[in-house]
Amino acid sequence: MATFISVPLKKSSEVDLVKPLSKFVAATYSAGEEQGEYTRAVEEFNKLRKNALGRPLDKHESSLEILLRYYDQLCAVEPKFPFSENQLCLTFTWKDAFDKGSLFGGSVKLALASLGYEKTCVLFNAAALASQIAAEQNLDNDEGLKAAAKYYQLASGAFGHIKDTVLSALNREPTMDISPETVGTLSLIMLAQAQEVFFLKATSDKMKDAVIAKLANQAADFYGDAFKQCQYKDNLPKYFYFQEVLPVLAAKHCIMQANAELHQSMLAKQKKRFGEEIARLQHAAELVKTVASRYDEYVSVKDLTDKINRALTAAKKDNDFIYHDRVPEVKDLEPIGKAALVKATAITPPLSQKFTDLFEKMVPMAVQQSMSMYSQRKAETVNRLVGSMREATNLCNGVLASLNLPAALEDLSGDSIPQSIAEKARSIVQQGGLQSIEQLIKDLPELLTRNREILDESLKMLDDEETTDKELRAKFNERWNRTPSADLYKPLRAEGANFRNVLDKAVQADQVVRDRYSAHCEMIALLCKPENELVAAIPSANPAKTLQGSEVVNVLRSQLAQLEQMKKERETLEGEIKAVTFDMSATFLTALAQDGAINEEQLSSSQLDQLYGTYNQRVQASLRTQEELLGQVQTSHQEFSSLKQSNTEANQREEVLKKLASAHDSYVEISSNLREGTKFYNDLTEILLKFQNKCSDIVFARKTERDELLKDLQQSIAREPSAPSFSVPAYQSNPAAPVAPAAPAAGPTPAPRTVFPQQPQQAQQALPKPQPPARPPPPSFTPQAATTIPTNAPPTGPPATNPPPVAPPSQPQGPPYPTYQGYPGYFQMPMGYNPYAYGQYNMPYMPYQATPGQGGYPAAPPAGQPYPGYPQQPPQQPYYPQQ
């Protein structure tokens, strides 16, 4: 009776985890100790998969521990890497566990770029191995019984977990072995076997008969449910595995029910219900008799049958001679109770007792993404504060330059270079002068072209693969059942469009810088000249020494000094703002652990307000101070201008000094813009190279998936029948209608008209003549080595009547069927001859192509002429009835 069902393991193809995961680690984490640690963890992860799936596993707990450890690691690593078809694409290929394949087609397999698919298949193997380990246990001792019950419940829970999660994990139709119907059935089978083990444990412990009967009845109920699940699902019995399992389930259902009746009969005997005892034993005897007659090759019930028969014989004897209790009908017996002591093990990682996460220090992808969004928000806040201060400073410099300050205060002599202008000229020369700016402007187009080429090449890879995918989808239609490339590449194309938009805006910004340089180029060149040439280029004016030491000059100098102090404070404030740091990972991890999700916007905004609230107030105060000081400077400058002696030469000199001051400020700004632009293009190059690698990886993964799918399609096409099934005419399958052969003619045997065996002449004469339906003539065709087609040849379609067969001509009309090289004795019916295939299936008529060395088949003869190859019958007794 101890026949237990175990499940075969799935087989997986080898997958290289090291290359794609290491590339992601190198692209995501900066070089250093952290990156090296994660790279080593990736290598260990790859070794763990090879140990779990790359070799045959023993039916031992240590092998199951390896599988469970790999499953736990998959669950732990899933939130930490962006496993998807359009990001970190890893294609896992698994074969159907139950499908043995065919000679040409191979077994059914499925390749998916889904970590959920890998988890499902690994958990299936863990459940299957647990069932095999349980089946190997020695059920004659307590340790074996406990281990078997434990592993059967684990297998039931694992199969049940797959049933609940497989469709959401795959997002497509799975192979039949991991479909919800199949794993649901396997879960019921494992639970029934666990209940049976508890029944055996109770029997060995000699527990009360009432308890044992309830346990057996519950096991019978579980087996019955599993049997119905197998029987009523259309797609399960076609598997050879389930065809073998069905009889075992039916037998186990009857055996457990018989055991329940046996132990319940013992309880009835104890309660002096002798009629009930006999009725239950009779029912149990009928059940084991059914098993012995139908399922004896699967399960042996000899011992149980002998036990029940002995008890039944003794009960009948005692009742007939002593008790004379009435034996009730089985339907009138009180139902036996049920006691379910088993429960499917809940699948809650970690399942392994020795599991340690290889990527314990790596934060989940949700936290990484939240950190990235937080960094972006922080950068926007910093840029907004720093940008507002820089904009205000540029505005201040522009206002002072338009007022020719502080040069106007320094140029009271009217014939020397103001100190501020001389310092600005020296600053420009020290920074490289015109040559540095012209070199930076010259480098920009090269950097732009390089970035555009990388972006174009990346998008071209996507375009080429998408075109191939569309062509194959149009060719195979619904058979091409993978995700369309157009849908898969939408995020990448959106990212590429964003990069192109960024480049277009950068081109516009470059043009603005060039225009500004063109406007101030002449004055910048003047500042780069030697001091004597610069003095000669500035017009001289009458001295205004009378203003030296005046109150208005002192006030202006004081106000300009306050503005310079304000600028220095802004530089310090800008450094403080940029130096602010805060690690949000702990905050995001806490939120993820508590709520299961991260409200990044709320958490980031709250933290940034705390960090930069004070700095924002200081920036606003600086802007208000500048506004007040500029108002005072403009008022003082008006008073200063009214006191100065105004003439044409003085105005010209002041205008040149304004342009020189403005040219210096423009030089500083243009140099800063060009260096920022160069850094921008270089940084963008790194980003675009990562984007290119991402496109290259996904295209390579799609090509691998495409090759696998094409191979599977070729195998499935090879397994399909080459032609549709068709019905054979009734007279051809009638064994009582043999056709008598004609007398052999001299020379070669005429080509036979059918491939069915013919009976001797004597047998035909002894049998009554059959009356088959009318047989249409063969279609007409142009012979290549036969008689000429008569002009009155009938059409190729079936005629309304058939002419009576007459004796064949004395000369043969064609050679026998040829024996083809390599297939001796194999005679192939020419496709063009069969008159039935075309009319039934709307197939176009194909004229027969004669084989070299073989004469063609004759056309239909004229009315009244014989069909070649048909035996002649007397005219008064035609073989075929006339219509």
pLDDT in tens, 586-610: 888 888 888 878 888 888 989 999 9
Q: What is the pLDDT of residue 253?
A: 94
**Is 117 in contact with 92 (CB distance < 8 Å)?**
yes
Half-sphere exposure of 717 (CA within 13 A, CB side): 9
Q: What is the pLDDT of residue 522?
A: 80
**Is 858 in contact with 830 (CB distance < 8 Å)?**
no
What average pLDDT does range 436-445 have in this prediction?
84
Q: What is the pLDDT of residue 793?
A: 43
Q: What is the pLDDT of residue 509?
A: 87
Residue count of the chain, please give it.
883
Q: What is the pLDDT of residue 305?
A: 92
Q: What is the pLDDT of residue 66?
A: 94
Residue 659 binned pLDDT confidence (cut-offs 50, 70, 90)? confident
**Is 858 in contact with 849 (CB distance < 8 Å)?**
no
pLDDT in tens, 670-712: 888 888 888 888 989 988 998 888 888 888 888 888 887 888 7
Tell me if residue 218 falls in helix, strand or coil. helix
More confident: 659 or 847: 659
Tell me if residue 95 falls in helix, strand or coil. strand
CA distance 570 to 389: 7
Q: Picking from 207-211, 325-329, 466-470, 873-877, which range would have the lowest pLDDT averaged per residue?
A: 873-877
More confident: 824 or 610: 610
16 φ/ψ sector (left φ>0, alpha ψ -120 to 50, else beta): beta
CA distance 293 to 372: 71
Q: What is the pLDDT of residue 733?
A: 52
CA distance 95 to 841: 36
Q: Is the dihedral of CA 600, 601, 603, 608 positive or negative?
A: positive
Q: What is the pLDDT of residue 400?
A: 85
CA distance 360 to 534: 67
What average pLDDT does range 250-256 have in this prediction?
94
Residue 526 binned pLDDT confidence (cut-offs 50, 70, 90)? confident
Q: What is the pLDDT of residue 751?
A: 35
Q: What is the pLDDT of residue 730?
A: 64
Q: What is the pLDDT of residue 194?
A: 96
Share the mean pLDDT of the chain.
78
**Is 69 in contact with 355 (CB distance < 8 Å)?**
yes
User: Which residues contact residue 70 at a Cβ distance below 8 angstroms, ignoring those fewer than 6 apart?
Assistant: 48, 49, 51, 52, 53, 122
Q: What is the pLDDT of residue 805?
A: 46
What average pLDDT does range 279-298 have in this prediction?
91
CA distance 552 to 549: 9
More confident: 338 or 816: 338
User: Which residues contact residue 221 at a Cβ distance below 8 angstroms, ignoring those fewer than 6 apart?
Assistant: 338
- The vertex-748 CA angle with 742 and 750, nearest 5°, equals 50
193 φ/ψ sector (left φ>0, alpha ψ -120 to 50, else beta): alpha
Q: What is the pLDDT of residue 153?
A: 97
User: Does the structure show a pLDDT above 80 at 315?
Assistant: yes
Q: Which residues pair with 112 in a beta bridge?
A: 92
What is the percent of the chain where pLDDT is above 70? Answer: 76
Q: What is the pLDDT of residue 248?
A: 92
CA distance 572 to 386: 11
What is the distance, to the nearest Å, from the Cα of residue 73 to the centroid of all Cα atoms in its chain? 19
User: Cis before residue 795, ω within 30 degrees of 0?
Assistant: no
Q: Which residues pair with 111 in a beta bridge?
A: 93
Q: What is the pLDDT of residue 89?
A: 82
User: Which helix or strand (DSSP H or E) is residue 587 part of?
Assistant: helix 585-595
What is the distance, to the nearest Å, from the Cα of residue 794 to the centroid of all Cα atoms in its chain? 61
Q: DSSP label at 111? A: E
pLDDT in tens, 236-248: 766 767 778 889 9
User: Does the structure show a pLDDT above 50 at 874?
Assistant: no
Cα–Cα distances (Å) from 857 to 756, 783, 836, in that order, read 19, 6, 17
User: Cis before residue 350, ω within 30 degrees of 0?
Assistant: yes
Q: Picking from 234-243, 333-342, 447-456, which range would have the lowest pLDDT averaged per residue?
A: 234-243
CA distance 717 to 712: 9
- Residue 93 backbone phi and psi in degrees, to 5: -115, 125
CA distance 255 to 248: 10
Q: Picking from 51-60, 79-88, 203-212, 277-286, which range would have the lowest pLDDT averaged per residue?
A: 79-88
What average pLDDT does range 348-357 have in this prediction?
89
CA distance 55 to 43: 18
DSSP per-residue codes, 634-658: HHHHHHHHHHSPP-HHHHHHHHHHH
User: Does the structure show a pLDDT above 80 at 399?
Assistant: yes
The helix/strand count (H/E) of the chain reads as: 23, 2
User: Does the structure show a pLDDT above 50 at 714?
Assistant: yes
Q: What is the pLDDT of residue 52?
A: 93
